[in-house]
Structure 1
């Protein structure tokens, strides 16, 4: 395999965020900006200039996600390498799990928790989209606009951290007065179920609503991921995507994993996994 370049860059054009990763002499630099529409050569140049990177200095730029294919095959003298998003998700998951060389032969499940959620199996250089859900960060933002009056993820996170989800949800203790199987009495029985009771006439705080909302999103994703991983016999499971940036989301994912005796790996830079995967795949393809 050819030696890696001192400077390598990839961009993931997501539905909600555009993520950039730069590897410079072995060190990683990452940043994001909100989705601003279809990419074009000028927006790419401006995005890189944010960190004083001149596109003309790059012999190759890896791109993936969203509508990355609307870009030309070259911008100036820079080759634009377009990477299949499913493959980038899988390769990024392998990389963040530290699976390189023969270790990549392990069958792993990568859950990309972005605006929606994609479940991708990765084994060696084989990647497949096997399931997913339309529930994700976009769902959280849309419902937050309706019930919290905000789409600011930092505000949602701050509210959720101070809230009690069982001020909105019904727990097993509420429904059957105790635990069931491996689930403790405080586990959720019905998301937002307390508000659906005819006898409910109280007030609900924004904090409790935010906690219940994050709980709904995180539980759905974690359960689907665990079940899909078991159905496909995956040895390891990792969750990536910017939903994993939220401490409240990670906490619920951890609880679900505990309840169902599953191990869901938490890794560094989860929101940039797809961009990292695109960069590695572009380099590996170029080295063949």
Structure 2
């Protein structure tokens, strides 16, 4: 059989990943207003970047909100649809190594949480906080929704000028809460805050909310490992937030993998046959 590729057609970007003899090829992501345009654009770039011919592709698996617009085989190649939550679970498992129980936190336009036990994924739920929140608030507060610009601004800002922290209201750490823990997002913001600080506050608030939610919904279970996937893992603040949360919950382990932004596409490519439905 030829190469199986997985394509995640999301709300703002399309990502594609594929494997040859168990080795991942160069993944690709592009943005376009049309799901169909982004699909074929990503597919063509994937072939070019990996020096492939169309005849090298044996199967195409699709997932994501935009995949419902695809009603026929791609370039005549057998094409299947994969449930997105199953794809998240499989993609998270690719990065989780030999761990048997873990949670996949898919940080896209919004965020979904998928619990995986013994290779069986189960969708726990989701929240309407994610990359779309960052770009939306940035458009209102910073007059830009360009992700690269937001990331540049955030890297030069100080969250401590925006967020109210435990150290701002107490001279001593509280039980389980050191002085750097957030007491209130934007609780210290003023009208004089600069754009860099505002950007840092927005990014920190969104990532902190996502990671805190993941830990809180796992309370009462034996889940201790959290695999983060999606474009938000590329914000440096993601690592900082995870380290901060670990001071409150020392037992948790956040996995921020290389190429984790392609987690859903990877899971789509690796999905078991039982998860596949032919496009109609």
| TM-score class normalised by the smaller sequence | 0.7 to 0.9
Distance 2:123 2:110 in 1: 13
Q: Deviations over 1:94-133 (max 9, x none)?
A: 011123xxx5xx2211100111110001123422111221
Q: Which moved more, 1:141-150 or 1:44-53?
A: 44-53
Quote the offset at 1:74 in angstroms. Answer: 2.2
Tell me if the contact between 1:110 and 1:121 (Cα under 8 Å) persists in the aligned partners. yes
What aligned pairs does 1:199-278 form with structure 2 within 5 A after superposition?
203-261=192-250, 262-278=252-268
User: Does structure 1 residue 37 correspond to structure 2 residue 27?
Assistant: no
Match of 1:14 in 2: 10
SS in 1 for 2:28: strand
Partner of 2:96: 97
Partner of 2:132: 138
Other-structure match for 1:87:
86
Query: Within 5 Å, which residues of 2 pair with 1:68-217?
Result: 68-99=67-98, 106-195=100-189, 203-217=192-206
The CA deviation at 1:55 is: 4.3
2:64 maps to 65
Question: Per-residue displacement from partner, 1:262-283 (whole Å, max 9, x unpaired)?
Answer: 2111212111011111111156
- The change in CA–CA distance for 1:168 and 1:76 in structure 2 (over 3 A counts) is closer
Q: CA deviation at 1:148?
A: 1.4
Cα 1:174/1:76, change in 2 over 3 Å? closer
TM-score, normalised by the number of residues in structure 1: 0.86
Q: How far off its partner does 1:7 sit? A: 2.4
Give secondary structure in 2 for the equivalent of 1:231. coil
- SS at 1:185's partner residue? coil
User: CA contact under 8 A between 2:35 and 2:69: conserved in structure 1?
Assistant: yes
**TM-score, normalised with respect to structure 2:** 0.88
CA–CA distance in 1 between the matches of 2:265 and 2:73? 19
CA distance in 1, matches of 2:135, 2:275: 37
Distance 2:38 2:169 in 1: 53
CA distance 1:36–1:231, change in 2 (3 Å)? farther
**SS of match in other structure, 1:174:** helix
Tell me, what secondary structure is at the counterpart of 1:214? Answer: helix
Structure 2 CA distance for aligned equivalents of residues 37 and 111 of structure 1: 26
Instruction: Please give the alpha-carbon distance, in whole angstroms, between the structure 2 residues aligned to 1:152 and 1:205.
Output: 18
Q: In structure 1, what is the Cα distance between the partners aligned to 2:14 and 2:38?
A: 11
Whole-Å Cα distance in 1 between the matches of residues 228 and 74 of structure 2? Answer: 33
Q: CA separation in 2, counterparts of 1:71 and 1:55?
A: 18
Residues in 1 aligned to 2:211 and 2:156: alpha-carbon distance in whole angstroms: 22
Alpha carbons 2:15, 2:42 under 8 Å: kept: no
